[in-house]
Amino acid sequence: MRIPTKQVQDLSLSDKDENGFPPVYFQLDSFPRKNALVVSLQPPTEPSIPVHHVPCDIVLVIDVSGSMFDAAPVPGEGSSEANGLSILDLVKHAALTIIETMDERDRLSIVTFASSVTVLQPLECMTDENKTTARKNIKSMQPKDATNLWQGILTGLKQFEDVKSDGKVPAVMVLTDGMPNHMCPPAGYIPKLRTKLPLPATVHTFGFGYHLRSGLLKSIAEIGNGNYSFIPDAGMIGTVFVHAVANLQNTYATEAILQLKYTADTQIREAMGTSVLSSLPEPLGDSSQQGLQLDIPLGNIQYGQSRDIFLRYHSPHISKLCGMDPGPLPIVEATIKYKLVLDNDAGNCTSATIIHNLTNDSHSPEERAAYHESRALICSFISNLFPIEKQGEHKAAVSSRFEQVTKELATLIEKLPSSNYSDPLNKSLLQDLAGEEPEGQISIALKEDKGFFRKWGQHYLPSLLNAHTRQVCNSFKDPGPLQYGKDSPLFIACRDRLDEAFDSLPPPEPSRQQHIARRHGLLSGGGGGSAAVASSGGRHISMSSYRNSRGVCFAGSTLVQLASGRDIEMRRVRRGMKLQTPLGSRKVAAVLRTPVKDETLCRVGAVLVTPWHPISLDGKAWTFPAYTADKAVRYTGSIYSIMLQRDRSPEAHALRLNGGSGGGGLWGVTLGHGVTSGGDVRAHVFFGDYNAVGKSLMGLNVGLRGEFIGSGVGRDSHNGLVCRFVKDESRGRALSWAPGARSKTVLRS
C-alpha cells in the first residue's frame, strides 16, 4: 500500500516537511525472503495548473573540433559522403530545435570548445529578440582543431555563477564526438569535479560515433547527476536530443536525495550497480553504534514517472526465522529531500520521512516486485562490465573474460524474475535483454565474435544502464526505456512538440555539399541536367529522416512510363509488365508495397518520393530528392518500390517517372541495381544487391495483386545499415513464387 506523505507525520522522527505536505507518494516495500527493499517516490502525473513546459536554464557545450566536419549520413541511405551534411550541421539543427520550444521564461547559453573555449552567449532569457541572436550564434559555429573537453565543461558550469536558477531546471548539455586530447586535468576529470560539488546544474553528456571515451562521459554525467546518451549515427541525433530536452521540460523536482538511517547491526547496500556518486554509509553522531546513514543522490524527478530504488539488506533480526532471539526490530527511517521547480522562486527544499520495519512483508503486486528486482539485476550485470578505475572513470572490463560474461548473461536470462510475467513492464525488460532483433540489444552488444562490443556495445550499454537506473526514456529505440514517461502527459506533449520542431525547421545548409558536388562531377560546368540537380540544394526537405528512416519508395500516385510510352500510376504496376529504362524495355520482377502513415515524402514536380531514393534527370548523374525537392509533404497511404528483371548493367535498373502535365520527367533507381559500393549515390550494400533483395522479399507476405507487402526496413545491429525488409503480419498471404525467377521457383543465390 502506498503511504501518502500527508500521512507520514505520525511516523516521522522529526518535522521534515518545511512547506506543508507535497502531493507525492513515498513508499517502502520490504521482501524479507529476498533480503530486498524497494524505496519508491511517485510524483504527480502532471502539474496542478496546466503549463506549456517547465522553465529551464540550459547551457549547450558543443564540441567544434575538426572531426565535427565529418559526414553525417542517414544510416543505410547510400554513400557515407553523399548527403553533404556534417555532424556539426545536425548538432546545429538540434540546437535550433531546442530554441523553438523555449519562451521568455527559459534561458539559454551557448559554449563551444576546440583547443580553446568560446562563450557565444551567456544565459539569456529567450525573448523573440534573444532567440534571433541565439539562432545566429548557433549558425555561426565552425569546426576548428583539438578537443579541450575540460575547459568546455568548466566554462559551461561558470555560466551559472551569480545566476539564480530557482523556479527553473538548470542543466549543462555536453556533446562531443571524440576523445579529449587537449589540457586534460592530470588528476582526472572526476576528482577535479568532485572538488567543485555541489555543482550548480545537472550535467548531461552526449557521445556521438564510435571513437569515444564513453566511460568518461558516463562518469561525468554521474557526478553531474545527469544522463549519458550514446548517439551511434546521424539517425539518432534527433531522437536523443528530443528526449533529453523533453525530460528537462517535464521536471517536477531537482536535487533529490534519499537518506536512509538504520541501526549499526543492519546492512543496506545499493543493488543497481555502482556510480561515482555511490558512497558507504556514514556513522550517525560520534560513533556507528548510534546508527548509520546512507545517502543516495537521485537528481531530477519527472512528472508522471516514479523513482524506484532497489536495495539489498541484511539484519540479525531475520534470525528469528530460525528460532533464535531476534533482538531489536530492524527499523529504517527513510527521508526524501528535493527542491520543487514550479512556484518555488525562493528555492526552498521539501522533505518527507517515513519509518519502516524491514520484517514487514510487502503486499505489493508480485509483478511489480519482479519488475524492480529484474531491473536491478540487469543494471547490476551491465554495471559490473564497466568498473570504476582509480581516477573515477568507467572502463570496459570484458575483453579478457568474454566466456565468463556469456555464461553470466545466459544465467541472467534464464533466472530473471520478469520471465514469469507477461505485463508490459516485465516484458520490456526481456525484450531489452534477449528479444528478437532489432530488440535484444544487450545480448547483441555482447557478441564478441562479431566485434559488436568493441565497436558500439561498450558505448551503448552504459547509455542503456543510465536509462534504467534513472528511469528516463532516452530515445524511441529500446522497449525498456520506452516504458518511462509514458504516463506523463507533459512529457509526451513536450516530446511531440520537439519532434515536430525538429522535423519542420528548415534544414541546415550542407557544409560538405560543394565537396559532394565535386566528387560526383556535378560542378563540371556542363550537362545541363546534372548542373540542375547540383544547384537545387536541399531547400525544403523535412529533417525527419534524421530521426527515423523508412526506406526508399514512391507514392502510389506517381506516374511511371510503360515500354509502350503510356504512363500509369505506380500502384497499378504488376509483375510481368514491361517498363521503360535507360537501356530500353525491361520486365517487372516484383513490386513491394509498404503502407505508411504521416511519412515524409519529397515533391519533385509531380513525383512523390522518399528523401533518400536516388533520382536522376538524365539517367547518368544521380542525387537525392532531399536536394532537389520543391517541398516536403506528409503522406498517408502506400509507397512502392520496383524490382526489374535481372541485368548486369545498373543502367537497366531505373524507371522513367513522369512529372505530370507540362512537367519534365526523371529517372528513379529500382531495387537490386547492382551498385553496392563506391562513391556512386546509388551505392548500397543491400538495396544494390539483387540476390539479397530477392531473398528478403521472399520472406514477406503477398497481396491479392501479387505485390509483396512490407512494414518497413530492418537494420544491421552492428552498423545501423538497412539489411532487410520487415514482414507485415497483418496483411497478405504466404509466398508461392520467387521474385526474379523465370518461373515459380525458389530464387537461387
CB 164 within 8 A of CB 127: no
pLDDT digits (tens, 9 = 90+) for 498-539: 988 887 787 777 776 544 444 444 333 333 332 223 333 334
Any idea which residue has 505520525 for its cell? 10
Residue 504 vs residue 370, higher pLDDT: 370
- Contacts for 728 with CB less than 8 Å, ≥ 6 apart: 595, 700, 701, 709, 710, 711
pLDDT digits (tens, 9 = 90+) for 607-616: 889 888 889 8
Handedness of CA 737, 741, 744, 745 (dihedral sign): negative
In the chain, pLDDT over 70 holds for what percent of residues?
84
At residue 551 the predicted structure's pLDDT band, cuts being 50, 70 and 90, is low
At residue 279 the predicted structure's pLDDT band, cuts being 50, 70 and 90, is very high
Handedness of CA 569, 573, 578, 580 (dihedral sign): positive
Rounded to an integer, the average pLDDT of 315-322 is 58
Point out the least confidently predicted range of 15-19, 357-361, 402-406: 15-19
Tell me how far apart the alpha carbons of residues 247 and 484 are, in angstroms, rounded to a whole number: 10
What integer best gives the mean pLDDT of the chain? 84
CB 702 within 8 A of CB 733: yes
CB 545 within 8 A of CB 558: no
User: CA of 522: how far to CAs of 419, 509, 514, 681, in Å?
Assistant: 57, 17, 9, 12
Rounded to an integer, the average pLDDT of 101-107 is 96
Tell me how far apart the alpha carbons of residues 644 and 647 are, in angstroms, rounded to a whole number: 8
CB atoms within 10 A of CB 364: 17
Q: What is the dihedral of CA 363, 364, 366, 371, to 10 degrees?
A: -150
Predicted pLDDT of residue 123:
97
SS3 323: coil
Tell me how far apart the alpha carbons of residues 102 and 258 are, in angstroms, rounded to a whole number: 31
Tell me how far apart the alpha carbons of residues 429 and 440 are, in angstroms, rounded to a whole number: 9
At residue 705 the predicted structure's pLDDT band, cuts being 50, 70 and 90, is confident
Domain topology for 520-727: Endonuclease - Pi-scei; Chain A, domain 1 (2.170.16)
CB 261 within 8 A of CB 65: no
Rounded to an integer, the average pLDDT of 295-304 is 97
Which residues partner with 259 through β-bridges?
295, 335
pLDDT digits (tens, 9 = 90+) for 23-52: 689 999 999 989 999 999 999 999 999 999
Predicted pLDDT of residue 619:
82
pLDDT digits (tens, 9 = 90+) for 182-225: 889 999 999 999 999 999 999 999 999 888 999 999 999 999 99
In the chain, pLDDT over 90 holds for what percent of residues?
56
Predicted pLDDT of residue 508:
73
SS3 705: coil
Any idea which residue has 513536450 for its cell? 494
Q: At what angle do helices 458-470 and 214-223 cross, to 10 degrees?
A: 20
- Contacts for 649 with CB less than 8 Å, ≥ 6 apart: 583, 674
Rounded to an integer, the average pLDDT of 83-102 is 87
Predicted pLDDT of residue 720:
63
Q: Which of 267, 292, 280, 170 is nearest to 224 (CA)?
A: 170
Q: Domain spanning 5-49+252-364: which superfamily?
A: Immunoglobulins (2.60.40.10)
CB 90 within 8 A of CB 516: no
pLDDT digits (tens, 9 = 90+) for 625-682: 877 777 777 787 889 999 999 999 999 999 999 854 444 579 999 999 999 887 788 8
Q: What is the dihedral of CA 182, 188, 189, 195, to 10 degrees?
A: -130
Predicted pLDDT of residue 4:
39
- What is the radius of gyration, based on Cα positions, of the chain? 28
CB 727 within 8 A of CB 701: yes
Any idea which residue has 505530370 for its cell? 660
At residue 552 the predicted structure's pLDDT band, cuts being 50, 70 and 90, is low
Any idea which residue has 505506380 for its cell? 570
Tell me how far apart the alpha carbons of residues 559 and 504 are, in angstroms, rounded to a whole number: 27
> In the chain, where are the structural domains located?
5-49+252-364, 520-727
Tell me how far apart the alpha carbons of residues 130 and 135 are, in angstroms, rounded to a whole number: 9
